[in-house]
A and B are shown apart, each in its own frame.
Chain A
């Protein structure tokens, strides 16, 4: 257990539905990252927060995706109008300080039917 938690661990949804995932980082960590991992691939960067500010977004993050970190603590990632191609593991990580070692949560596995 790295101290980063994600909820839910698994989500099965039908195409077209909206889903929301939550990440709780290690409490003193000011940086929070979302990554997506498809089967057989390494994770890919989606977006990054420093405190409550979203500082960078990947072009992978289409307009159906939105992420928030309203109080600089937990974060949510919402996917609207899910598509089968959204099926993946969604990973959250957090870090702080100049070393910036990232600690990963267990991930949320999304299956879109």
Chain B
């Protein structure tokens, strides 16, 4: 079973700061997701990546497959970025498919004005 660890658990920043959230996992994967969850529950997919780096606006996600580690960066953070950020992985199984996700506990980000 894949173990997904995120750090930090809680992060408070001032508006404009550069944010980094880390995710590590224990078993080889086929894909890693970064998700955003606002109070009230709704989850939005930010990135799905299996190698390298992806960028969308002020968000950047990187993954190092050899080190089993991924980071989510937010540049020029803003109070509207305040949310829980969750890392989730899809295990790599030989043979047939394995589509379910294993999630980290999430990182609660608060950006103060």
Contacts and interface: CB of A to CB of B under 8 A. Distances in A.
Interface of A: 2, 31, 33, 35, 37, 40-45, 48, 56, 89, 91, 93, 95, 99-107, 109
A56 B48 CA distance: 22
B105 A42 contact: yes
Interface stretch (B65-73, B75-83, B95-103): B95-103
Contacts of A100: 31, 90, 99
Interface size class of B (residues with CB under 8 A): 20 to 34
B105 A99 contact: no
B99 A109 contact: no
A107 B41 contact: yes
A48 B41 contact: no
20 contacts: A2-B42, A33-B100, A35-B101, A42-B4, A42-B86, A43-B86, A43-B101, A43-B103, A44-B103, A48-B99, A89-B41, A91-B41, A91-B43, A100-B99, A104-B35, A104-B43, A104-B45, A106-B42, A107-B41, A107-B43
Nearest to B40: A106
Nearest to A42: B103
Q: Which 8 A-B pairs have the closest CB atoms?
A: A42-B103, A104-B43, A107-B41, A45-B100, A106-B42, A42-B105, A101-B48, A43-B103
B27 interface: no
Contacts of A107: 41-43
B28 interface: no
Contact of B106 (A31, A42, A45, A106): A42
A45 B9 CA distance: 21
A10 to B, nearest CB: 10
A44 B4 CA distance: 12
B45 to A, nearest CB: 6
A46 to B, nearest CB: 9
A104 B43 CA distance: 6
A44 B103 CA distance: 7
B63 interface: no
A111 B35 CA distance: 25
A31 B43 contact: no
